[in-house]
Amino acid sequence: MSTGTESTAAAGLRGVVAAQSSIGDVDGVNGVLIYQGYDIHDLAEHSTFEEVVYLLWHGQLPKANELEKLKSELRANYNAPREVIEMMKAFPKDADPMDVLRTAVSSLDFYDKGGHGTDREHATAAAIKLTGQIGTIAAAWDRIRNGKDVIAPDPSLGIAENFLYMLRGEKPDADEARIFDIALILHADHELNASTFTTRVVSGTLAGMYGAVTAGIAALAGPLHGGANTNVMKMLIEIGDINAVEAWVDKALAEKRKIMGIGHAVYKTEDPRATWLRKFSKQMAEKKGESKWFEMSQLIEKLMHEKKGMFPNVDFYSASTYYLMGLPLDLYTPIFAVSRISGWTGHILEQYADNKLIRPRAEYVGPRGLKYVPISER
Task: Summarize pLDDT for 47-84 with one digit per residue, the tens.
Answer: 999 999 999 999 999 999 999 999 999 999 999 999 99
Q: How many Å apart are CA 50 and CA 185, to the nearest integer?
A: 9
Query: What is the reported pLDDT for 237?
Result: 97
Please check whether residue 34 lies inside any domain of the structure.
Answer: yes
Q: How many Å apart are CA 340 and CA 189, to the nearest integer?
A: 6
Contact yes or no for 293/320 (Cβ under 8 A): yes
Query: What is the reported pLDDT for 149?
Result: 98
Percent of the chain with pLDDT over 90: 91
Please check whether residue 71 lies inside any domain of the structure.
Answer: yes
Which CATH number belongs to the domain containing residue 204 in this structure? 1.10.580.10
Active site residue 187: no
Please check whether residue 9 lies inside any domain of the structure.
Answer: no
Same domain, 114 and 56: yes
Tell me, letter by letter, the H, E, C secondary structure of 41-56: HHHHHHCCHHHHHHHH
Q: In 3D, which of 39, 44, 128, 19 has the Cα closest to residue 353?
A: 19
Pairing relationship of beta strands 32-35 and 38-39 according to DSSP bridges: antiparallel
Same domain, 181 and 250: no
Same domain, 153 and 207: yes
Which one from 315, 330, 347, 354 is the annotated catalytic residue? 315
Same domain, 181 and 264: no
Query: What is the reported pLDDT for 291?
Result: 97
Q: How many Å apart are CA 184 and CA 153, to the nearest integer?
A: 18
Please check whether residue 209 lies inside any domain of the structure.
Answer: yes
pTM: 0.94
Which one from 142, 264, 271, 347 is the annotated catalytic residue? 264
Q: Is 376 or 361 the better-scoring residue by pLDDT?
A: 376
Per the structure, the count of domains in the chain is 2
Same domain, 93 and 204: yes
Same domain, 249 and 134: no
Please check whether residue 8 lies inside any domain of the structure.
Answer: no
Q: In 3D, which of 85, 103, 102 has the Cα closest to residue 145?
A: 85
pLDDT over threshold 50, residue 238: yes
Same domain, 129 and 216: yes
Same domain, 218 and 246: no
Active site residue 264: yes
Q: Which domain holds residue 284?
A: 228-324
pLDDT one-digit tens code per residue, 330-374: 999 999 999 999 999 999 999 999 999 999 999 999 999 999 999
